[in-house]
Amino acid sequence: MARKPTARSEFVMFDVVYEDGSQRSNRKVDASLLGGLDGDEPARTAIVEQDLVISEKSGVPPLAIKSIKRSGK
């Protein structure tokens, strides 16, 4: 029996630089959040939310984000 096609979610990768100078590359953000009038600004919100989840699990407070840019640009 044939399988039903699954919904495909596309991601955009971002490089994040934190206030302390550290960098995390290839952070995934759902492409459906991006575009429109806000451009890539919703990516910052998504990455902050990811950082909060990571900090809860690790017990280390999240770092302040200095800049975000798409990977490969």
Nearest to 43 by CA among 55, 58, 57, 31: 31
Residue 4: what pLDDT?
A: 73
DSSP codes, 11-29? EEEEEEEETTS-EEEEEEE
Q: Which two tokens stand for residue 9?
A: 């979610």
Q: Taking the domains of the chain in order of start, what are their residue ranges?
A: 11-70
For 24-72, the pLDDT digits (tens) are 989 999 988 888 777 888 999 999 999 999 999 999 999 999 999 999 8
**pLDDT recorded at residue 6:** 66
| Model confidence, pTM | 0.78
What's residue 28's pLDDT? 93
Pairing of strands 23-30, 11-18: antiparallel
Tokens 């429109």 — which residue?
36
